């Protein structure tokens, strides 16, 4: 690949030869993204022999793959179909290849396989990690490598086995659900009577609520929406503390500060110190107690090398920042005593856990579903909710894929803005060097120099040009500062909003998956079993005069036990529906995050463009009368 195609012009020997790192940034901006000199520097990879041998074998199978789109079609999408890679991960890998490795010659193809292997190993398929691991790249998993190395008839990968089509309501709403696990939530059980067999129904009859009117339904929905506002300010702040030596490894502590009134705490600032492992424990607790709620996820713990690099730690800190702020905005999770203690108790969390009584039973243990929800809310909203739930479940993977690509594009665009800022600083340096040298080519007859006939002809022109070049260089420096400020605003605010919305999407997708695993029941089987036992009981009681009283009594008790179990499962099914309905209703509020992101983006860009326009306007006025465009005789 020609060196003149390098994204950084200072890689083409344009930099100062005396500079130890010509491509290094000249401005003191600590971006969350890697500086261009770190991301775009030439690869230390020198020969194909440094790569795992399976990479070479795969290249021999695909010698004609030369673009990122071909790599995506021939390699990445087959791994997605095989099930080892998610669409979001696939988009990340393809974007890294497109952004850094084009065109795909032999070297680029092998590095692209390295990006794929890193993503499969630890979800770290980015170009920075590729550089760090260049001499120690992992092999592709055997199942993935065999997709390309095994001789398969007609070069077609055997399709993944599909589940049989569902005949449930899920199938009728979503069409072909051959790839989707049956969702118990989408079985409408409103026709089944929810009666506890242990209660005296004559003494405490179940009241039947009247049908709901539109005002009552709107009030119910608005009350749910009012409890959750994803656009509210982020009030929890988190700062990374210096690493501490542990028993075996170093670990990083995080100082969490806020002024929230949680539980019975007093007003004023609270400050606690927590480790990453404390966050992991909190997430595990929430998943156990609130499996049918939207629970934010944590950033990964894995990193490459002997110690976490500063860029990774910064990304993780921002991920923890989003986790905590999304947690306290949730109207149910934020009120949990464990969450309150996590954010307010200054004691080391491991010590507090040994002393505290922690209730990790599922949130609605011991609760009974409201008759108002069954008889009033569900008849009005049930069918619409199940349809919306099924459609959201079906489409959220694609939404995640598209938004992930938007985030990647935004990050890529921001890298370019950082490179422009860096180039602007370089412009100032080069123009300054030019103004110091051009008197050797254009002699000037000045007070400090010997009289010169040629210099006399340039007495005013060359100094004026040099003075104008200083104005031009100053404008480049000012433009660089504007772009640096814009980049900081983008990284610290807009990009975090984008990632925050992506966090909500992933959290909702995980709720869909948890619901399919955990909401299962055997209500239908119990109902059939009860009918069979009741028929046998009636036969024994009325027809079989030889039947023993003990047998009839045992059968009767068995029927009561089954009815009690069916009541418990029906009650649990209704409570799950109520939880999921609340979560889906609150999730609708996150659409306004999209609006907020692009409004903030447009405002930030407008402010920057106005400043840049003002700089250029001032430059024209400064050099317009000073910069000579033709020889002036004196």
The pLDDT-based confidence of 547 (bands split at 50, 70, 90) is low
* Residue ranges per structural domain of the chain: 53-149, 236-362, 413-626
Q: Is the pLDDT of residue 631 over 80?
A: no
Give the residue, 189 or 347, on which the prediction is more confident.
Answer: 347
pLDDT tens-digit readout, 203-240:
445 555 555 578 889 999 999 999 999 999 999 999 99
DSSP secondary structure letter of residue 490: I
pLDDT confidence bin for 462, thresholds 50/70/90: confident
CATH assignment of 236-362, given 3.30.465.10, 3.40.228.10, 3.30.1520.10, 2.50.20.10?
3.30.1520.10
**pLDDT tens digit sequence for 253-295:** 999 999 988 877 778 899 999 999 999 999 999 999 999 999 9
d(CA 55, CA 238): 42
CATH of domain 413-626: 1.20.1270
CB 116 within 8 A of CB 82: no
Whether residue 12 has pLDDT greater than 80: no
- Buried b vs exposed e over 386-414: b needs ≥16 C-beta within 10 Å? bebbbebbbebeeebbebbbebbebbeeb
- Residue pair 68/97 in contact by the 8 Å Cβ criterion: yes
pLDDT at 578 > cutoff 90: yes
Query: Global pTM?
Result: 0.68
Written as six digits, the tokens of 428 are 């100032």
Percent of the chain beyond pLDDT 90? 42
**Which residues are CB-neighbours of 246 under 8 A, at least 6 positions away?**
none
Range scoring the smallest mean pLDDT among 143-157, 261-275, 454-468: 143-157
Query: What's the pLDDT at 5?
Result: 32
Confidence label for 179 from pLDDT (cuts 50, 70 and 90)? very low
Q: Which of 87-96, 141-150, 471-480 has the highest mean pLDDT?
A: 471-480
- Scored b (16 or more CB within 10 A) or e, 274-313 reads bbbebbebbbebbeebbbbbbbbebbeeebbeeebeebbe
Query: Is the peptide bond preceding residue 103 cis, with omega within 30 degrees of 0?
Result: yes
Distance CA 515, CA 291 (A): 8
Compare 634 and 134 and report the one with higher pLDDT.
Answer: 134
């Amino acid at each position: 690949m020609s060196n003149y195609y390098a994204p950084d012009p200072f890689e083409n020997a344009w930099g100062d030869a005396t500079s130890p790192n010509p491509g290094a940034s000249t401005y003191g901006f600590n971006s969350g993204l890697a500086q261009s000199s770190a991301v775009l520097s030439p690869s230390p990879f020198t020969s194909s022999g440094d790569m795992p041998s399976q990479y070479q074998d795969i290249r021999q199978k695909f010698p004609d793959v030369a673009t990122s789109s071909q790599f995506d079609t021939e390699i990445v999408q087959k791994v997605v179909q095989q099930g080892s890679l998610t669409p979001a991960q696939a988009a990340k890998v393809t974007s890294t290849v497109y952004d850094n490795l084009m065109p795909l010659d032999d070297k680029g193809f092998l590095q692209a396989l390295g990006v794929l292997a890193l993503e499969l190993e630890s979800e770290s398929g980015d170009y920075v990690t590729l550089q760090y691991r260049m001499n120690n790249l992992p092999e592709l998993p055997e199942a993935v490598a065999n997709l390309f190395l095994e001789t398969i008839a007609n070069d077609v990968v055997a399709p993944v086995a599909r589940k049989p089509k569902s005949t449930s309501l899920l199938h009728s709403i979503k069409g072909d659900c051959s790839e989707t696990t049956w969702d118990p939530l989408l079985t409408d059980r409103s026709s089944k009577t929810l009666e506890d067999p242990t209660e005296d129904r004559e003494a405490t009859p179940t009241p039947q609520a009247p049908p709901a009117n539109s005002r009552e339904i709107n009030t119910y929905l608005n009350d749910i929406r009012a409890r959750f506002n994803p656009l509210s300010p982020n009030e929890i702040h988190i700062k990374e503390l210096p690493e501490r030596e542990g028993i075996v490894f170093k670990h990083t502590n995080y100082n969490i500060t806020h002024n929230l009134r949680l539980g019975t705490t007093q007003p004023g600032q609270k400050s606690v110190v927590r480790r990453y492992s404390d966050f992991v424990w909190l997430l595990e607790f929430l998943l156990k107690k609130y499996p049918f709620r939207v629970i934010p996820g944590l950033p990964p713990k894995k990193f490459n090398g002997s110690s976490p690099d500063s860029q990774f730690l910064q990304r993780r800190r921002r991920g923890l920042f989003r986790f905590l702020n999304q947690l306290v905005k949730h109207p149910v999770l934020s009120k949990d005593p464990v969450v309150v203690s996590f954010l307010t108790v200054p004691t080391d969390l491991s010590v507090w856990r040994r002393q505290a009584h922690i209730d990790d039973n599922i949130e609605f243990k011991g609760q009974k579903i409201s008759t108002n929800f069954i008889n009033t809310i569900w008849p009005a909203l049930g069918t619409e909710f199940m349809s919306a739930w099924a459609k959201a479940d079906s489409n959220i993977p694609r939404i995640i894929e598209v938004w992930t690509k938007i985030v990647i594009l935004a990050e890529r665009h921001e890298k370019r803005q950082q490179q422009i800022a860096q180039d602007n600083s370089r412009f100032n340096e080069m123009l300054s060097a030019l103004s110091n040298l051009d008197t050797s080519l254009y002699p000037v007859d000045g007070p400090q120099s010997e009289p010169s006939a040629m210099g006399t002809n340039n007495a005013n022109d060359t100094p004026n040009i040099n003075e104008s070049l200083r104005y031009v260089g100053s404008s480049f420096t000012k433009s660089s500062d504007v772009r640096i400020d814009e980049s900081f605003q983008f990284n610290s605010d807009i990009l975090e909003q984008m990632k925050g919305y992506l966090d909500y999407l992933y959290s909702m997708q995980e709720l869909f998956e948890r619901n399919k695993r955990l909401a299962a029941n055997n209500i239908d089987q119990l109902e059939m079993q009860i009918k069979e036992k009741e028929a046998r009981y009636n036969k024994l009681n009325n027809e079989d005069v030889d039947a023993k009283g003990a047998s009839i009594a045992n059968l009767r008790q068995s029927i009561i036990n089954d009815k009690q179990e069916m009541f418990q499962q029906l009650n649990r099914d209704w409570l799950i529906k109520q939880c999921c309905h609340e979560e889906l209703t609150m999730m609708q509020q996150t659409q306004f995050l999209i609006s907020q992101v692009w409004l903030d983006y447009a405002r930030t860009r407008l402010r920057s463009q106005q400043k840049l326009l003002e700089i250029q306007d001032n430059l024209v006025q400064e050099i317009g009368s000073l910069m000579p465009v033709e020889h002036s005789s004196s």
